[in-house]
Amino acid sequence: MDIIVCVKRVPDLAEADIVIDRSQRDIEKDDLVFDINEWDNYALEEAVLLKEKLGGTVTTITLGDEDAEEVLRRALAVGADNAVHLDDAAFAGGDAYATAKALAAAIREMPYDLVLAGAQAGDDGYGQVGATLAELLGIPHATLVTSLEVDGKIARVRRELEAGLEEVMELGLPAVLTIQTGINEPRYVSIAGIRRVARREIDVRKASDLGLSAAEVGAAGSKTEIEKLSLPPAAQKGDILEGSTAVVAEKLAAIFASKGWLG
Amino acid sequence: MERATREVFWNVSLVWFFYTLSALAIGAFVLGAYRIVSIWRRGWKDSRRGKPSASLSRTVADGLLNRKIFRNDRIAGLMHLCIMWGFIVLFVGTVLLTIHHDVAPFLFGTTFLVYSLVLDIAGLVLIVGVTTALVRRYVIKARPMNNLFDDGVVLVALLGIAVTGFALEGLRLTALEPFQDDWSPVGTAFAAILDGLPGQPQAWHGVIWWTHAAVSLGLVIYIPLSKLFHMFAAPTNIYLAAAEAATLTLEEREKLVGDFERTQMVSFDACTKCNRCENVCPSFAAGEPLSPRGFVLNVKAFARRKYGIETRLPGKARESVTALQVGDMIEEDAAWWCTTCRACVEECPVSISPMDVIRETRVAQMADGRKVPPTVRDMLRTMSKHNNPWEAGGSKRSRWRQELGAKDLSAGDEAEVCYWISCIASDDLRNQEVARAFIQVLSHAGVDFAHLGKEEGCCGEFVKRLGEDGLFEAIVENNYATFAAYGVSDLVTTSPHCFHTMRRDYPALREKLNIDGAPQLHVRHHTAAIADLLESGKLTFTRRLDSRVTFHDPCYIGRHNGLYEQPRRVLRALPGVELVEMPRSRENSFCCGGGGGRMWLESTADQRMAEIRVREAAAVKVDVLVTACPFCMSNLHDAAKTAGYAEVMEVRDIAELVAEAL
């Protein structure tokens, strides 16, 4: 069972103060800390768990500048066998389509039974790379996968729908699956673990290595363009009820009643 | 009159057969001992050496005089002294008799009489000791024990050897009537009792002699197969034990072969399952699935399976054994429950540190990563990204720090002393009040101090306790760089955890990592700093507090660093404060449950350690439960509410009481 996992290095935005930069098309990243995309972390764990169960190899692939190497190191520490880094100035500024095109060109040349990717990325949040990649590779896909079993040449998956519904489906392999958080408990990656793989070789490829011209990838090869970013309006300040417990409870009950929440 | 002596092998035929059996038993013993020692040698070596004089005096006090068994339990101490010294004297007596019989006869006249008197007394002492042990263990059940088969075998065998020995002496004396001149009071008493036996004393003697021999030789074989081997392992461990486990850098660790340090391997065999550690373990008391005793024995079983000479026999599947990880053999998540409160270390009569053994298995689990609890995993990731355990990014906490009104080194101020505020006092509302109170005390005393403002990160103490040594190393390097940049070497902190790690862990790494320009730190805990201010007359109290208080010793200033007196001196000096002690205080203090990374682990147990502690404080009827640690504060403060004492008892930091009295 050979598995390819697509990973991405993204800024950690959960608690960050987000500031839009002067171009108005991106955010200030200087004070942000970066890490592996949360969804990709689950995809990586799922791949390594499958390898531990069924044998085979895990190859991890990323597209990004030289800093992106750190997520590949992390993936190697988790248990990936190989790491491929698509690193070329031409790749910069690409949308989901351009990214998927570069990934597809690299993956097409490798042996694989399964391609896993995070359901979306924590920064741009397109949620399209996985599906586009499947289309370009000409193989089936399932998105938002919450459980995965491989049985011979069949993958049995559950995928998340709206309103708590789930869909159970079977796909013939090879296939692309985009992984939802919570599918597993990703292991901890210690500093010692990352040090252990510090000298492992990483396969770096440029656009030309993939047979792609600069016009086909990155911003030039994209189908969408960001015109302007804006922050959502700040939420209204909440009311703080004051007084003794009894008084507060009464005020709260009155509010609930006025909203019609008390039946 | 003929000179008094004793005919060895009186009434015994087939002496050669006895010698053959003895040789076989000794052979089996040597093989068994070799098996254990060869496992010890598979541990890595700690290059540090304690002072031989200190090691030796500890070995005499704890080994020969059983000092720590007497701790909190005098009868147990006396009992063990009786068994141990009875056994030693009788063993030496047997060796002397062998020398007398086979090498150079010397047991004649007065020498013999003294010899037989001493052995008689030793036998009686052994019987008293063993009987006490049997009664305590199986009849009155003096304290919770975990009785296994070999506990009973050992006691019954020792009792059997002593009683049959006296019976033989009595029968010999009966048969050799009229009695020789003999100083054997107990033997004589047995002679009187056995006089009534039907038949010839010689016949009885023969049967009992072979029984005595069989049980004795059996016990020799049994020593390395049972807890009895502690007679060698325990003193070895006591001698080798270091006050603190060795600090290893990542680089050193990468070169290590093995799972535990050598003295830790010795300590597994020093354990007699006496259960004292479990009896004092706060996690166990709260009903959590951790027993320090159980843990050590599990790890011992692991070491046996992985390193025992059996694994080197041909035909054994060696690969599966060498790949064995300690995590595979400890049940579920036992390692993560330890609060590192050090109660087990303090209590262990033979210098075992279950706490350090547990941390070592955490290190292994961290490297593997699969069994790290998700809450700990997430905190460590946050820590490595944001340099603090709570995601509350730097900006919020630096704003709060700026509002404190104290000097801020990161803003360009200068001061003699750096107040290291700690993460929890920066992010937790209740503990923020403590930081403010301490700042008030320092200002009142005219101390020239400042904090590090936005440059203060996390000290990393719980990262180390949780076994993520790589991250800890990075944190330490980072903090030393900050100290060097702002010229900080004199620190005071309100957290015993920051205090402990900067005092104990930092210097060891500073030396090993050769950190450039890193200052030598002088770190004080605020209880000690306040005690100093008090002594030098810098604090004048103007308000009476009129309250009855008790002090909860935080583990990391108490057991870990021995600061028991300073907080009490301060409390006694406060006008109108009456200090009373809880039943468990000072070295016996009961942990709040916050150490060792436990702030990031949810307990599923019915009880919480802090609630047990709060009830204990309430039982001594105090108005204020005083502590001096932000983790204790958080846990006890919550527990006072959940256990229903919020109305009758406050939980306060010592700095708050001092500030209030100013």
Measure the CA–CA gap between B326 and B362, rounded to whole angstroms.
Answer: 10
Among candidates B553, B545, B563, which has minimal Cα distance to B503? B563
Q: Which of A46, A51, A191, A195 to mutate to test the interface with B (most CBs of B within 10 A)?
A: A191
- Six-digit token string for B64: 């020969």
Is B444 in the same domain as B472? yes
Q: What is the pLDDT of residue B279?
A: 95
- Six-digit token string for B422: 């700690």
- Six-digit token string for A203: 């396969």
Query: Does the structure show a pLDDT above 70 at B181?
Result: no
For the beta carbon of residue B20, count every other beta carbon within 10 angstroms.
11
Assigned domain for B9 exists: no
- Six-digit token string for B314: 């041909």
At how many degrees (to 10) do helices B292-307 and B262-270 cross?
A: 120
CA dihedral A42, A45, A49, A52 (to 10 degrees): 170
Measure the CA–CA gap between B527 and B434, rounded to whole angstroms.
Answer: 12
Assigned domain for B103 exists: yes
Q: Which of A12, A17, A193 sits opposite B369 (nearest CB)?
A: A193
Measure the CA–CA gap between B305 and B311, rounded to whole angstroms.
Answer: 7
Measure the CA–CA gap between B429 and A3, rounded to whole angstroms.
Answer: 48
- Which helix (H) or strand (E) is A142 found in, with range? strand A141-151
Q: How many residue pairs bridge chain A and chain B with CB atoms within 8 Å of each other?
A: 56
Is B561 in the same domain as B443? no
Q: Which of A18, A76, A188 to mutate to test the interface with B (most CBs of B within 10 A)?
A: A188
Query: Does the structure show a pLDDT above 50 at B421?
Result: yes
Task: Find tokens 């998927």 and name the residue.
Answer: A100
Is B501 in the same domain as B581? no
Measure the CA–CA gap between B608 and B287, rounded to whole angstroms.
Answer: 9
Assigned domain for B4 exists: no
User: Chain B residues with CB inside 8 Å of A53's CB?
Assistant: none
Q: What is the pLDDT of residue B331?
A: 67
CB contact under 8 A, A190 and B470: yes
Domain limit, last residue, from B203, B229, B255? B229
Q: Who's near B487: CB < 8 A, 6+ residues apart?
A: B414, B519
Region B494-504: what's the mean pLDDT?
97
Residue type, B345: V
DSSP string, B579-637: EE--SS-GGG----S-TTTGGGS---SSS-HHHHHHHHHHHTT-SEEEE--HHHHHHHH
Q: Nearest-CA distance from A222 to chain B in Å?
A: 32
User: Chain A residues with CB inside 8 Å of B466's CB?
Assistant: none
CB contact under 8 A, B391 and A15: yes
In percent, how much of chain B has pLDDT > 90?
A: 76
Domain span at residue B409 reads: 383-532
Residue of B nearest to A49 (CA): B370
B495 vs B12, more confident: B495
Measure the CA–CA gap between A70 and A67, rounded to whole angstroms.
Answer: 6
CB contact under 8 A, B381 and A35: yes
* Mean pLDDT lowest among B33-37, B63-67, B319-323, B375-379: B319-323
Measure the CA–CA gap between B349 and B378, rounded to whole angstroms.
Answer: 38
Is B433 in the same domain as B328? no
Is B364 in the same domain as B433? no
Q: Tens digits of per-residue pLDDT, B19-56? A: 999 999 999 999 999 999 999 999 998 877 778 899 99
Is B296 in the same domain as B423? no
Measure the CA–CA gap between B431 and B643, rounded to whole angstroms.
Answer: 20
Are B584 and B558 spatial neighbours (Cβ–Cβ below 8 Å)?
no
DSSP string, B38-101: HHHTTSBPP-----HHHHHHHIIIIIIS-HHHHTT-HHHHHHHHHHHHHHHHHHHHHHHHHIII
Total residues found in chain B within this entry: 662
Q: What is the pLDDT of residue B464?
A: 97
Measure the CA–CA gap between B246 and B264, rounded to whole angstroms.
Answer: 11
At how many degrees (to 10) do helices B149-175 and B185-194 cross?
A: 80
pLDDT 10s per residue in chain A (263 long)? Answer: 999 999 999 998 877 888 999 999 889 988 889 999 999 999 999 999 999 999 999 999 999 999 999 999 999 999 999 999 999 999 999 999 999 999 999 999 999 999 999 999 999 899 999 999 999 999 999 999 999 999 999 999 999 998 889 999 999 999 999 999 999 999 999 999 999 999 999 999 999 999 999 999 999 999 999 999 998 888 888 888 888 899 999 999 999 999 888 86
Q: What is the CATH number of the domain that holds B393?
A: 1.20.1050
Is B247 in the same domain as B205? no
Q: Which of A190, A195, A197, A199 to mutate to test the interface with B (most CBs of B within 10 A)?
A: A190
Assigned domain for B55 exists: yes
Is B528 in the same domain as B547? no
Is B48 in the same domain as B75? yes
Is B393 in the same domain as B352? no
Q: Who's near B317: CB < 8 A, 6+ residues apart?
A: none
Q: Who's near B33: CB < 8 A, 6+ residues apart?
A: B223, B224, B229, B232
Region B580-596: what's the mean pLDDT?
96
Instruction: Classify residue A138 by its DSSP letter.
Output: T
Total residues found in chain A within this entry: 263
Exposure of A94 in the CB half-sphere (CA atoms within 13 A): 27
Domain count, chain B: 4
Residue type, A153: K
- pTM higher than 0.80 for the full model? yes
Strand partners, B236: none
Confidence band, pLDDT 50/70/90 cuts, at residue B174: confident
Q: What is the CATH number of the domain that holds B110?
A: 1.20.950
Among candidates B580, B613, B578, which has minimal Cα distance to B594? B613
CB contact under 8 A, A187 and B372: yes
Q: What is the CATH number of the domain that holds B560?
A: 3.40.50.10700
**Arithmetic mean of pLDDT over chain B:** 92
Q: Class for domain A2-216, per CATH?
A: alpha beta
Instruction: Classify residue A27 by its DSSP letter.
Output: B
Exposure of A132 in the CB half-sphere (CA atoms within 13 A): 19
The 3 state secondary structure assigned to B519-566 is CCCEEEEHHHHHHHHHHCCCCCCCCCCCEEEEECCCCCCCCCCCCCHH
Q: What is the pLDDT of residue B1?
A: 44
| Chain B residues whose C-beta sits inside 8 Å of any chain A C-beta | 250, 253-254, 366-370, 372, 374, 376-377, 380-381, 384-386, 391-393, 395, 468-471, 473-474
Is B36 in the same domain as B123? yes
Q: What is the pLDDT of residue B311?
A: 79
Region B639-652: what's the mean pLDDT?
95
Q: Who's near B140: CB < 8 A, 6+ residues apart?
A: none
| Chain A residues whose C-beta sits inside 8 Å of any chain B C-beta | 12, 14-17, 33, 35, 78, 185-196
Q: Tens digits of per-residue pLDDT, B602-644? A: 888 888 999 999 999 999 999 999 999 999 999 999 999 999 9
Domain limit, last residue, from B372, B402, B430? B372
For the beta carbon of residue A188, count every other beta carbon within 10 angstroms.
24
Cα angle B150, B151, B154 (rounded to 5 degrees) comes to 75
- For B107-200, where are the alpha helices, taking DSSP H only? 109-134, 149-175, 185-194
Measure the CA–CA gap between B169 and B179, rounded to whole angstroms.
Answer: 12
Domain limit, last residue, from B342, B372, B402? B372
User: Chain B residues with CB inside 8 Å of A192's CB?
Assistant: 250, 253-254, 366-367, 469-470
Plot region of B315 (φ>0 → left; ψ -120 to 50 → alpha; else → beta): left
Measure the CA–CA gap between B430 and A85, rounded to whole angstroms.
Answer: 48
Is B141 in the same domain as B39? yes
Q: What is the pLDDT of residue B312?
A: 76
Q: Tens digits of per-residue pLDDT, A198-245? A: 999 999 999 999 999 999 999 999 999 999 999 888 888 888 888 889
Q: Strands A57-63, A154-160: parallel, antiparallel or unpaired by DSSP?
A: unpaired
Measure the CA–CA gap between B216 and B38, rounded to whole angstroms.
Answer: 26
Assigned domain for B178 exists: yes
CB contact under 8 A, B393 and A187: no
**Burial class of residue B310 (count of CB atoms within 10 Å of its CB; 0-12, 13-18, 19+):** exposed
CB contact under 8 A, B374 and A185: yes
Measure the CA–CA gap between B147 and B141, rounded to whole angstroms.
Answer: 10
